[in-house]
Structure 1
């Protein structure tokens, strides 16, 4: 885990061959928030992307590398003091060229914070 104690994966549900849901608890006391931003903590966008990669590695049970990010959209600010429990819904397709396409939404309740669509491959 690149982000050390940044978050904890509290639950993972594999719904079917292509769909999974991950439940994440953010560590609202993590050191990163001292700089991003003092007094008004915000989860850095790059950390949300890393979170998707690490959840994918848990699902696929192997190290992955991001090949391309076709779509990244930040829909709302993630303040860990307000929303530290996130849900990530993933749709995963294994391709014939041994890459893995993922489309995901990260949300808290009905508020979608982050949308991602990209391609991973095994390291």
Structure 2
């Protein structure tokens, strides 16, 4: 299941930064949580993965979440737009891809920091 163009849309894709809009009406937010929705961690990882696949033009399989820090919950109501900043992307000849970055809001607050390892499918 892809989340692009359903759970989120790409608003701007410049260099290593991708700004997305979150669909506050999506069914996931109705379950997590109806009164004060926040973006589930698994959806954050999926968004990062889909954006990285799109950027690199390869299909990726999550291999290891090396580091994942949820600093501030991402609310589609309070923060309908966030930016995924890929601070470092390393594609190894062995078929591994390492991605490190952060998700920030419009006021430059950091919501999430990530360091993830993928294999190519």
TM-score, length of structure 2 as denominator length: 0.92
The within-5 A match list for 1:42-61 is 42-61=38-57
Residue of structure 1 in register with 2:101 after alignment: 104
Deviation per CA, 1:99-123, whole angstroms, max 9, x where unpaired?
Answer: 1110010010221111110111211
Please state if 1:120 is matched with 2:110: no
Residue of structure 2 in register with 1:79 after alignment: 75
Where in structure 1 do 4 or more consecutive aligned residues deviate above 3 Å? none
Q: Give the distance between the partners of 2:114 and 2:35, measured in 1 at CA.
A: 28
Unmatched tracts of structure 2, length 5 or more: none
**RMSD, aligned CA:** 1.2
Q: Give the distance between the partners of 2:10 and 2:58, measured in 1 at CA.
A: 16
Deviation per CA, 1:24-62, whole angstroms, max 9, x where unpaired?
Answer: 100111111111001111111110010100000110112
Say how many residue pairs are matched: 118
Q: Secondary structure at the match of 1:55?
A: helix
Q: Give the distance between the partners of 1:77 and 1:94, measured in 2 at CA.
A: 30
Unmatched tracts of structure 1, length 5 or more: 15-19
